[in-house]
Structure formats: C-alpha cells, structure tokens
Amino acid sequence: MRAAVIKPTLFLPLLSLLTDHGHAAPTILDLADLPFNEDNRLAEHIFAYPAGACATLIDSDKTMKDGHHGHKFVALDGEAYNDVFGHLQDVPNSPPTTANSFHDCLAVCLEKGTNQSVVARPLPHRYWQYGEKDDEGEMVEVDAINSFFGSDSCGRVEYGFVNYHTNPIKLYWIDFDGQPKFNQVLGVGERQTSFITTFVGHKFQLYDSMPNEDALTNEMLYEVIVPNAGVVGIKNFAVSHIPEEGLEDKVRQTLNTEWTRHLKVKRTFSPLGFSKGRLPDDMYASMGAFYYNNRNPPNKVHEEWTKMKGVFVNYWETDCNFIQIPWRLKKRWQKRLKELTEVWAGVELDITDMYGMREYTQGARLLTHVDRVTTHAASMIVNIAQENVTKPWTVEVHDHADRLHEVVMEPGDIVYYESAKALHGRNTPLYSGNYINLFTHYRPLGDPEWYTRDNPENTPEPLMDVGECRLTGQIDEYSHGAVTCDNNAIGPHLSPKMFTANSGEDLFLWWKSVGPEEKESKIVGEVSSREEL
C-alpha cells in the first residue's frame, strides 16, 4: 500500500463548512446534551474546551473558527467538564475562571460516530494541554492550540482509496476555487490501496484513466467530501459464489494439515492458550467510531477471497466484507493493544500484523486453523460490533490439551490467544446478522523463531489434567460455566458438548456435526465418547 501527503498549502479555511462563526459556543453541562443520533452515536465532530475564561479566548479567536474543518465548538462546565477533563493530571475540579492566554486552556476533540457510553474517553492524542511535564517535573511548552487543532488529533485525517474498477483511476483534489488538482494514479486491487493525509471537508473526484489521456474528459467514477478517517472502495471486488467442488475433501485435508501445524509449536505463554478480556474505554471509543463511520459501502468492500486462499472462510456461500484501517491509526491501536497483550503473555513483544475489520454475514463459518507461525505468537481478537445478531456466535478455541472452549463475545470484548499454537475457528454458522472483528498479532521481541524454543523459566504450566468434568448447565449455554470440572482453573468457557480433539479427523467430524444441515449435534457419539476431558 502507498501513502501520499496532501501539500501543506491545502490547510486553508474551508469556508463552506463554517458554523458558529463569530458566536460564543454553547455551554454543555451534561454530555447527554451533545448532538447524538438515533443510534446513540456522536452526530458531529466536537471541539470542546472549558467554559469560562478559556471559552472566551477561543470564541473570540477568528483563526480558530476559520480553520475548524467542520467541528462543532462547545464549552464544557459542571459534570460534563469533570467527565471529559477530570481524569487528567493537574486539572482542577472546575474550569479555570481566569485565563490570560491559551496557555491556561485545555481542549479535546471528540470524534463523530463515538458511542455515547464512552464519549468522555477519547484516545490520549485527542487532548491538548499547553504544558507537559518533563523528566524533572518541569512544565514544558507543547504545540500551540491551533496547531493541535489542525493535526491528526482533530481536523487532519488519513483517507484511503482502493480501486476495484477495470482500469487504473486518476485521483484529483478539488481546491477551494473548485478547480481539480491531480494527485495520483490508483492501481487495481487491495495491494494498491493508497492513503493520503487530508482534512475533514476536503473534496476529491476520481476519474477513469481510459479511454482519453485527459482523465477529466472520461467518466467520473466517484466523488467524496471527506467526512472522517476512513477508506473508500471504488466499485467492489467480485467474489465467486460458485459452490466449491469437492468441498468435504478439501476441508478434511485442510484440517489434517492444521492439526499437524499446531503440534509443531513448542513454546506456550499461558495455562490454556487463551483468555477473555475487555478493551479500555478509549480504545473501544476509537475502534467503535471508526467502524461506525465506515460501516456502509463504498467504505466497506468484499474481502479478496479466492480459491487460492483456501476454504477457511465459506466465501462462496456468504459475503465476507472488509474495512481497511489507515496506517497512523493502525499504529496507534497496535501499540496500545501490544501493551495489553504483553501483560497477558508475560513477555515483551514485537508488532507483526494487524488485520483490518472483517464483517461476517449470516451463515458464515470459519474453519478451525492456526495462524502464521513466524509472526502470530500472541494475538488478539477484538469484537468491534454486532448488528442484528440474535444468537451467540462463539469463537471456538482448543486449549493445550485440545479441549474445546466456546467463548461468547460482546462488542468491546477481546480474546487473547496463542494463535499459531491454539486451534481456533467458528464452525457453527452465524445464525443471523453481521459480526465484526479485528485481529492483531505479535511475537516475542526480536525472535522470529520463537516457536522452536522451550518455555523460559516462570512460564505458566499448560493446564493438562483437570480431573473429571460434567455438564451442569444447558447444552446451549456458553461462557457461564455449563461444564464443571474437579479443577475450576479450567474456567467458564468449556464447550457444553464436551468435545476434545485427538486428530485432524476429529476436527473434520466436528465441522460436519455443527454444519447448517445438522438438526442435532452428533459429535459426542461420533468423536468423544470418553467421559473425561
């Protein structure tokens, strides 16, 4: 993928977006009074600051209002002030009553699309304070407030373009006089996706490069006024919905291969090979807003599944959609999630990969597998959103003794997992709705051959023997301890079907037993007649 930067001269007032110019910003006492839509999502980008003297300074500054790039200015007081600013160090419990300059002010940018429940917790880079403490505890100056406002904390965003048209496409920025300025040529396919740095409210047009050399005389394929960080697809990837020939043989072969692959990894990090957790509120706010703002076509496109990628996703039966993530935003997310994963894995990690947001649709299945061994040691599944999902769609993870666990996830939940070692999938079809996940991956610091190593000292022992286990809940009850074992360290996620795999063939029979044509699971009788896990 390529990244391009719009020339600095583009950071000019976008007069068509000016609001509240010359007027005092409204004062908000309760965050519920911010503009939310019918989905309880923030309906506008918000530039917020304390009421009182700080608000007086900002409201009277013409350069701030002229460059606001579509943000709504609001002053915060009372509970709203405490909710947004109260957790910051060295911030008083009430807005400053005197401010001789911007040095005495605070500010924050709240992103359109943020869920109301976490609107008070933007990522740290979205806050501005005049001073920061150095290593000796002295206050040092940081960027001026209007520089912050024009940064990627607020008005500046990354926006991407992926071309699924037949021909290359020419991209033009439309300047403030309405004149097209050539930016670049976009090649075809996901690998040719290009991200540019631009501003909310800037306008772009995309033209077919054929048949005329002057693209402006060809068909205009798309026009966009940038609303937020995101990616837009020009047309869509054509997915084959022709049924797979010899599907069962391909699945059986694949599962036997995956079984062999998972046995080759020596090193482990945790007792079970997985654990469930929860995103911090600011990460949930950021990821949720990005998804919400890009959840519809053309920002959402078909994932590039073909026969060459195998039968891991049943793309020939259901649509599997994809939303790419801009580079800078991805790096911020990767760094924060790495810190969480390091705590779980108990080792320092290198960032290796973050996959964009994948949207599964009704009927989707994900075959049991393990991930790339060199790069996917300690990983994370993040459930971003669920739309009209009426029945739990469990993520299936096999622990170090190959017992099956079925974990229910809600939006904002995370599952840590040893993804090159612990077999995982979602073989039971998604009953209804759309299910959106993000995947991020790490490996031990500086060690691409980590999987060949024995466990270092102090590594938790794999939990192998847990004694006798019995079904004490309902057969369709997941993540609530439906199975009770002598050793309760096994946790609450053991599958009520009490399935343990001993081979790739067992995995195949599991896939068959939970398929869409089966009325009742037969896995206990066919595979696991053993009484103990």
Give me the residues paired with residue 203 across strands: 174, 225
pLDDT at 139 > cutoff 50: no
> How much is the pLDDT for 54?
85
Domain-by-domain residue ranges, the chain?
2-149, 156-234, 247-451
**What pLDDT is attached to residue 45?**
96
At residue 9, the pLDDT reads 32
Q: What is the pLDDT of residues 359-377, one digit of tens each?
A: 999 999 999 999 999 999 9
3-state SS of 172-229 is: EEECCCCCEEEEEEECECHHHCEEEEEECCCEEEEEECCCCCCHHHCCEEEEEECCCC
Specify the pLDDT at position 98: 66
Per mean pLDDT, which range of 89-98, 162-171, 343-352 is the poorest?
89-98
pLDDT, residue 10, reads 32
CATH for 247-451? 2.60.120.620
Q: How confident is the model at residue 280 (pLDDT cuts 50, 70, 90)?
A: very high
349-368: average pLDDT: 96
Query: Which residues, in sequence order, are CB contacts of 460 under 8 Å at separation 6+?
Result: 268, 269, 270, 271, 346
Give the mean model confidence (pLDDT) for residues 462-486.
96
**Quick one: what percent of the chain has pLDDT higher than 90?**
77
pLDDT of residue 129: 78
CATH of domain 156-234: 2.60.40.780
Among the residue ranges 47-56, 174-183, 469-478, 506-515, the one predicted with the least confidence is 47-56
Record the pTM. 0.90
- Rounded Cα distance between 318 and 316, Å, is 6
pLDDT tens column, 379-422: 999 999 999 999 999 999 999 999 999 999 999 999 999 999 99
Is the bond into 298 cis (omega within 30 degrees of 0)?
Answer: yes
507: Cα within 13 Å, side-chain hemisphere: 27
Q: Provide the 8-state DSSP code for 500.
A: B
Average pLDDT of span 11-24: 40
pLDDT over 90 at 320, yes or no: yes
- The pLDDT assigned to 24 comes to 83
Confidence label for 149 from pLDDT (cuts 50, 70 and 90)? confident
Residue 207 has pLDDT above 60, yes or no: yes
Whether 187 has a pLDDT exceeding 60, the answer reads: yes
Supply the pLDDT for residue 146.
77
Angle CA 306–310–312, to nearest 5: 110
Q: Is the pLDDT of residue 529 over 70?
A: no
If one compares 147 and 398, the residue with the highest pLDDT of the two is 398
Asked whether the beta carbons of 95 and 81 are under 8 A apart, the reply is yes
At residue 103, the pLDDT reads: 63
Cβ atoms of 185 and 170 closer than 8 Å: yes
What integer best gives the mean pLDDT of the chain? 89
The SS3 assignment for 163 reads strand
**Cβ count near 104 (within 10 Å):** 15
pLDDT of residue 102: 63
Do the beta carbons of residue 154 and residue 148 sit within 8 Å?
yes
Mean pLDDT of 267-271: 98
Structure tokens at 499: 């399935």
Percentage of the chain with pLDDT > 70? 86
The pLDDT of 280-287, averaged and rounded, is 98
The reported pLDDT for the residue numbered 363 is 97
Burial of 528 (0-12, 13-18, 19+ CB in 10 A): buried
Mean pLDDT of 51-75: 79
190 falls in which pLDDT band (50, 70, 90)? very high
What integer is the mean pLDDT of 464-473?
96
Better pLDDT: 65 or 186: 186
Q: Residue 132 has what pLDDT? A: 53
> So what's the pLDDT on residue 15?
25
**pLDDT of 142 higher than 80:** no
- In this prediction, residue 6 carries a pLDDT of 40
Beta bridge partners of 170: 185, 207
Please tell me the predicted confidence (pLDDT) of residue 105.
81
